Structure 1
Amino acid sequence: MNSVVLAVLAMVTLSMMRVSVVFALVVSAVIGGLTAGMPIEAIIEAFNEGLGGGASVALAYATLGAFAVALSRTGIAQRLSARVVEHLGHSRHKTGELALVKWVMLTSLVLAGFAAETVIPVHIAFIPILVPPLLHVMNRLQLDRRLTARAITFAITVTYMALPIGFGAIFLNDILIGNVNQAGAAQGLAVSREMAPQAMAIPALGMVLGLAVAAFSYRRKRVYQELPVAGEHLRSNTTPLGARQLGLIVLALLLALGVQLWSGSMIFGGLVGFAVISISGVIRWDEQDDVFTQGMRLMALVGFIMIAAAGFAAVMKATGEIPSLVSSSAELIGDNRGMAALIMLLVGLLITVGIGSSFSTVPIIASIYVPLGLGFGFSPLAIIALVGTAAALGDAGSPASDSTLGPTAGLNADGQHDHIWDTVVPTFLHFNLPLIAAGWLAAMLF
């Protein structure tokens, strides 16, 4: 068996057995390396070299977690949540009214995800700020958090897949189109930026279908315990905020966004936002260390998984068996274009699920899939759809993807949302399967 396939299967199996995802990634990297014939020293070296690729992302999420907890200390989000809970608890509501609150909240989170990928490009940074305070409302509504996770993952994934704005401009224009052109230059293939949204429209509709199915799958109520949310044990501001404090809080939000856009670093954006809130007086000087530490703990799981995933990806690349995986699959296809499209998507799924990032996977997939697609007679639009969909498959359903780690970090703030069984597996079923079908349909129609 190909070492990449074996490593990914081992990682997924261990994760579904509730083994720590970090441990599963490390063990699977060793399994894949040994199967490929790499000496243990080479595996360790490749893994260690890859760790640096995830360190900056991990630190960025840690500082954003600290900023989120500091922002929660202002009491703004808690007051809003408490008012909604009080309103729901002290008056009788018709079923339709409760359903309206549920759908308004889910729609708001989807819109926040759209904004976080486009006009306010903070990616998953909004999740630890908005979601934990809303857990009490979700508990009162008995809202199945698996549906909330689907809504957030949908918003932060489908946006960059289909819209060339914010992160979508980076993914579609710079990464997808850029790498397709680079890989197809020798064969005379040249695609334009305008083709990317057109090629990814059908796969994006697959995501829409998956969200609709998820809304039906998780329509029933689910009971959660009313437990403390991470950071609530720290004293939050219960007194009315002064005009100066409100001004500094607004300034913190604007500076966090501005610094991130100016520097391109979420780390400095989060640190500046934390610093401005600290001087507002909401956080006492002797409590700042506790607040910062609590924020880092909130996003610690995300950080460590991202670091381990970078090491896993480095070992998979070092095996040199990704091209052989694609070529051996092509030999089994023959001249069947429909089967070729399906196999390409499935192989892309295996590659991206292990790496966990569509942005990082496109260069690997494009260098192999573009010549292969041209050989099977696929059109330029079909090739763009195949490469883009294959990359999005892993981002939407990998245990090591920030598109699944982000929702878990927010929804598990009270310890009642499992990363694998409440986020990853439902996401795979509701989004990856429709994505495969929609990507195949796009390749056949274009």
Structure 2
Amino acid sequence: MNAVLIAVVVMLVLSLLRVHVVLALLIGSIVGGVTAGLSLQETMQVFSEGLGGGASIALSYAILGAFAVAISQTSLPDAMVKFVIKLVGKNSDSTRKNLSKALIFFFLLMIACFSQNIIPIHIAFIPILIPPIIKILNQLEIDRRAIASILTFGLIAPYMLLPYGFGYVFQGIVVENIVQNGLDVTMSQVTPAMVIPVAGMFLGLLVAVFISYRKSRTYEQKEIITETESNEEEKSVEAYIWSIIASLIAIFVTLVVQTISESMVLAGLAGIIVLYLTRALKWSGSDKVLTDGMKMMAFISFVMISAAGFSEVIRATGHVELLVEQVLNIVGESQATTALLMLIVGLVLTLGIGSAFSTVPILATIFVPLGMAVGFSPMAIITLIGTAGALGDAGAPASDSTLGPTAGLNADGQHNHIWDTCVPTFLHYNIPLIIFGWIAAMMF
């Protein structure tokens, strides 16, 4: 039996049974290594040596998390909330309900997209922005499934497409792992490869907003259950404005440093230093702020590190080549069938793990040799790995891209995580991603 297949199945089954993903990766590695003939000690040694491969990415995520929470403590998020409420309030009192809905949809989409690249705060903006406007959403009878679809699109599509912020991290993971598995590619190839799959996601977004969840939905006006409290009223006008300016400066410096150094760790560190120097982030209490940010990303960071160890064991078994031969014996050298199979495998894997970032190292280990064997171009392989990784982020119960929207929309207890976030995002994004990802692979 193929050790790679057994390891992946064990890891996936354990993940779906809600065994912690890190434990599932470790157990899957042990089973795969022993099945391939490695001793338990050899398997653990290989796993441990592979952990270092995910350390730099994990550190990037931790620093970005710290920067995200630091930005959330400034006046910038509060100003964004007030702007949206003020703008919508002008229209929600009139009969122009559709205009109010359009404004809410536009601003939530814009902010969600910015949270991945331009203002890399990831999901930190959701508990700050969403609970204060829930009463407005209820008054306008907006179906929260549409809002969940908008937020999830904004949390996924930008990092797939644009090489900034979390997009730089994701695209870096894709390129690094493809290169490690024997195919020479560059960062400049990732964005063109992702255009068509992202276009499919955008089509799914339009269907969700304008067709599936267009009709009004009634919610009760309940008290908001949230721990988020703003202390912006305590600031003077001058301090409030300066905090916003300092935040924008920090964001600009982060983008510049990332572009020059090509290091997300240095970029995030530079942004934090600017917040310190401008006093937008106070020394008192800053330890807790930065620690909370790192905690926010700790789960993904540990999964990334464990996934790197898992991938190293998979390579060490020597069964990757055997798996490629076995797949080719089943599907032949049909690129169309192979591409579809690869995307389905990616969907299942990422649904189990819950993170595109953490799944890419595992996907690349299998997909690169398989893609090369059937004659896929480097661009097609990038497309398949990038798309397959992103598939599970939309719809996975343990994904930040679904947990984040639910955390905000369920502030009054009227939004179900599975049926109101996971199922809508799965239907409207995973199906188009498979179709458009397959089309892109065939075109390249």
Same fold per TM (> 0.5)? yes
The match for 1:266 is: 264
**Measured at CA, do residues 419 and 178 of structure 1 come closer, stay the same or move farther in structure 2, by a change above 3 Å?**
farther
Displacement of 1:147 in angstroms is: 0.9
Query: For residues 24-423 of structure 1, what are the structure 2 equivalents within 5 Å?
Result: 24-82=24-82, 84-85=84-85, 92=93, 94=95, 95-109=97-111, 111-112=113-114, 116=117, 120=118, 125-128=120-123, 130-137=125-132, 139-140=134-135, 141=137, 143-144=144-145, 146-159=148-161, 167=168, 202-215=196-209, 216-217=211-212, 221=217, 226-228=224-226, 232=229, 238-242=235-239, 247-334=245-332, 338-346=336-344, 356-357=356-357, 360=361, 364=365, 367-374=368-375, 383-384=377-378, 386-398=380-392, 405=399, 407=401, 410-411=404-405
Alpha-carbon distance between aligned partners in 2 of 1:20 and 1:150, rounded to the nearest angstrom: 23
The match for 1:379 is: none
Does the 8 Å CA contact 1:15/1:24 hold for their aligned counterparts? yes
**Measured at CA, do residues 96 and 427 of structure 1 come closer, stay the same or move farther in structure 2, by a change above 3 Å?**
closer
Does the 8 Å CA contact 2:152/2:405 hold for their aligned counterparts? no
Alpha-carbon distance between aligned partners in 1 of 2:335 and 2:56, rounded to the nearest angstrom: 41
Does the 8 Å CA contact 2:3/2:319 hold for their aligned counterparts? yes
Which stretch has the larger CA shift, 268-277 or 239-248? Answer: 239-248
The match for 2:3 is: 3
Does the 8 Å CA contact 2:60/2:169 hold for their aligned counterparts? no
Does the 8 Å CA contact 1:46/1:314 hold for their aligned counterparts? yes
Alpha-carbon distance between aligned partners in 1 of 2:296 and 2:348, rounded to the nearest angstrom: 29
**Measured at CA, do residues 408 and 299 of structure 1 come closer, stay the same or move farther in structure 2, by a change above 3 Å?**
farther
| Letter matched to residue 51 of structure 1 | L
Residue identity over aligned pairs, in percent, reads 33
The match for 1:378 is: none
Does the 8 Å CA contact 1:139/1:225 hold for their aligned counterparts? no
Alpha-carbon distance between aligned partners in 1 of 2:329 and 2:188, rounded to the nearest angstrom: 33
Match of 1:299, SS state, is helix
Displacement of 1:213 in angstroms is: 4.1
| Number of equivalenced pairs | 420
Alpha-carbon distance between aligned partners in 1 of 2:295 and 2:76, rounded to the nearest angstrom: 22
Does the 8 Å CA contact 1:158/1:207 hold for their aligned counterparts? no
**Measured at CA, do residues 204 and 292 of structure 1 come closer, stay the same or move farther in structure 2, by a change above 3 Å?**
closer
Does the 8 Å CA contact 1:179/1:367 hold for their aligned counterparts? no
Alpha-carbon distance between aligned partners in 2 of 1:192 and 1:310, rounded to the nearest angstrom: 20
**Measured at CA, do residues 146 and 248 of structure 1 come closer, stay the same or move farther in structure 2, by a change above 3 Å?**
closer
Alpha-carbon distance between aligned partners in 1 of 2:41 and 2:346, rounded to the nearest angstrom: 28
- Aligned CA-pair RMSD: 4.7
Provide the TM-score with structure 2 as the length reference. 0.73
| Letter matched to residue 151 of structure 1 | F
| Letter matched to residue 50 of structure 2 | G
Displacement of 1:386 in angstroms is: 4.1
Alpha-carbon distance between aligned partners in 2 of 1:178 and 1:444, rounded to the nearest angstrom: 22
Alpha-carbon distance between aligned partners in 1 of 2:17 and 2:28, rounded to the nearest angstrom: 14
Which stretch has the larger CA shift, 344-353 or 388-397? Answer: 344-353
Describe the superposition over 1:395-421 as per-residue Cα deviations: whole angstroms up to 9, x where unpaired. Answer: 21346999x955357546669599988
**Measured at CA, do residues 126 and 325 of structure 1 come closer, stay the same or move farther in structure 2, by a change above 3 Å?**
same
Q: Which runs of 5+ in 1 are unaligned?
A: 185-190, 375-381
Provide the TM-score with structure 1 as the length reference. 0.73
Displacement of 1:328 in angstroms is: 0.4
Does the 8 Å CA contact 1:160/1:168 hold for their aligned counterparts? no
Does the 8 Å CA contact 2:333/2:374 hold for their aligned counterparts? no
Q: Which runs of 5+ in 2 are unaligned?
A: 139-143
The match for 1:22 is: 22
Displacement of 1:332 in angstroms is: 1.5
Alpha-carbon distance between aligned partners in 2 of 1:171 and 1:430, rounded to the nearest angstrom: 27
The match for 1:187 is: none
Which stretch has the larger CA shift, 235-244 or 16-25? Answer: 235-244
